[in-house]
Structure 1
């Protein structure tokens, strides 16, 4: 018999406004403690020096994390021109510097080159695996790190302002796997100068936005947070654009035990949704998510059972 998990069965999503200076895993641990939750995880790591939207999944919501990871993200960031650092942000050591600063016109001219599907090499101080090790671990030991370019998607890149000291502030809408530190590095190179990130804040991660995020100070002031708290969003929050099959309680029990159901397309909402064997969609009983399901050989089969 398995060992019982400590804590309560808390299920749902919390949108945390992570402060700069705190790593994502520590933030998750704090939230898990505040809810006394059995299980917690996060969707989309934020660098310790970055702030902003960190979606935290509690309990059964951890099974839906991939649907956030694949979603669009928005960041606000600043580039300080004139110096390059080991980490491509202000946390690293300066390895080269010069007096060259790009004009606003030059910045606007190169922006279109970074919109769309582009190749990007991650920073050497990143969690990318290199021969079974994290790149940042090798970099800290001063071992050579050679990373391959990855295909990423940038939907939009906007220049917001330029300070009197020359720091440029941007907003970017991007897809999974984009490193804003690499974007800043590559923009500086394209402009023929040096630069690094001096500010990084995520304002959107999938379905979650900064206006719906709670600060740690606010949460800690509440003390122990009930699993019925209004701050907690339903598990299915991240699945509202995924087709759903309404099931009876008996059918929900069958799926939860690994059983199959005959596939009836007329029961799928929205009507006319295209379901293939690769489609993962929802089974809902009385409006609550009970399983992630798929169709094969004419039967609905459970992919992940959700216990709420």
Structure 2
């Protein structure tokens, strides 16, 4: 079995837990996920099955979230899972003040990841260092936040803001919540998070673990074909003789019009998906090299 599963991750499970559950349900050794979600976060968790695990790196990188930010509260983890550092009511906070501050969190921004995150520093995860009490500075990262839209606002002692965020890979929504609170002088933390889209998969098409189990029991589960998950890549078809040579590792001449792409989706002339090609320039000639041969016909 090779393909993808658009899993709706439930509250309370880690991304690793979900992979383990899928592995047991499908009796499949090779299972991986694209983009970690925190245990309390829900929503789209792309799962790769079988040989499709090799394709995770080529999926779309943009993601979308619905988040709830609570003001007046600060925690060690920048969400409600951590210990409280501050909890002071801020009923005076207005939506106008938030709207004025939000533009600085859109576009290309600098972000310090939460101390409790999976980023590696000196060979160890930040959350491992934080739990052991080792003081360490998280490296500043440049991330892309495409759009932030206000969905709802609840004015109260600890006001809450619901937002929809679209962003690039590596963006921490917890850090946006924390930094927005800092700019407003109130402190803030992430109260809830749902990923509504990731790697080209959407929440509306996702399957819960319960639905997946039911489909497996009914023998009607069908993984998403790799080629459907790679539709964002430009297709390049090869005649039979060239397809065979390419699958054997040979470089082939490439149309200069495709040189603008980092990768292309390579197919046999009959439509069969062969793998991922990478355009390279060698001695003023554009060539297509095999980056990943997925399933040769030969």
TM over 0.5: yes
Q: Which of these residues, 172, 177, 184, is aligned with residue 170 of structure 2?
A: 177
3-state SS in 2 of match to 1:219: helix
Distance in 2, matches of 1:248 and 1:31, equals: 38
**8 Å Cα contact 1:35/1:224 also seen in 2:** no
1:66 maps to: 57
> What's the CA shift for 1:100?
1.9
Q: Which of these residues, 203, 209, 220, is aligned with residue 213 of structure 2?
A: 220
Structure 1 residues 293-308: aligned runs within 5 Å: 293-296=277-280, 297=282, 298=285, 299-307=287-295
Distance in 1, matches of 2:135 and 2:171, equals: 22
Q: 1:117 to 1:264 in 2, by over 3 A?
A: closer
3-state SS in 2 of match to 1:242: coil
Write out per-residue CA displacement over residues 232-262 of structure 1, whole angstroms, 9 at most, x where no aligned residue. 211122321322221244543433332343x
**8 Å Cα contact 2:106/2:146 also seen in 1:** yes
What root-mean-square deviation, in Å, do the aligned CA atoms of Structure 1 and Structure 2 show?
Answer: 2.1
Q: Which of these residues, 142, 148, 170, is aligned with residue 139 of structure 2?
A: 148
> What's the CA shift for 1:264?
5.0
**8 Å Cα contact 2:215/2:221 also seen in 1:** no
Write out per-residue CA displacement over residues 107-145 of structure 1, whole angstroms, 9 at most, x where no aligned residue. 111111111111100000001111111110010011102
Distance in 1, matches of 2:178 and 2:168, equals: 18
Q: 1:146 to 1:295 in 2, by over 3 A?
A: closer
Quick check: 1:105 aligned with 2:89?
Answer: no
Provide TM-score, normalisation by structure 1: 0.87
Distance in 1, matches of 2:100 and 2:227, equals: 42
Distance in 1, matches of 2:254 and 2:118, equals: 44
> What's the CA shift for 1:303?
1.1
Distance in 2, matches of 1:47 and 1:301, equals: 37
Quick check: 1:54 aligned with 2:83?
Answer: no
**Structure 2 unaligned regions, length at least 5:** none
Distance in 2, matches of 1:53 and 1:119, equals: 25
Greater displacement, 284-293 / 89-98:
284-293
Q: Count residues with an aligned counterpart.
A: 288
Structure 1 residues 12-161: aligned runs within 5 Å: 12-68=3-59, 71-101=61-91, 102-161=93-152
**8 Å Cα contact 2:258/2:279 also seen in 1:** no
Distance in 2, matches of 1:142 and 1:191, equals: 29
**Structure 1 unaligned regions, length at least 5:** 1-9, 266-271
> What's the CA shift for 1:295?
3.9
Provide TM-score, normalisation by structure 2: 0.89
Q: Which of these residues, 185, 192, 201, is aligned with residue 194 of structure 2?
A: 201
Moved segments of 4+, more than 4 Å: none
Greater displacement, 86-95 / 215-224:
215-224
1:7 maps to: none
**8 Å Cα contact 1:152/1:176 also seen in 2:** yes
Greater displacement, 102-111 / 286-295:
286-295
Quick check: 1:284 aligned with 2:267?
Answer: yes
**8 Å Cα contact 1:67/1:238 also seen in 2:** no
**8 Å Cα contact 1:116/1:155 also seen in 2:** yes
Q: 1:255 to 1:212 in 2, by over 3 A?
A: same
Write out per-residue CA displacement over residues 61-97 of structure 1, whole angstroms, 9 at most, x where no aligned residue. 22221233x5211111111222211111111110122
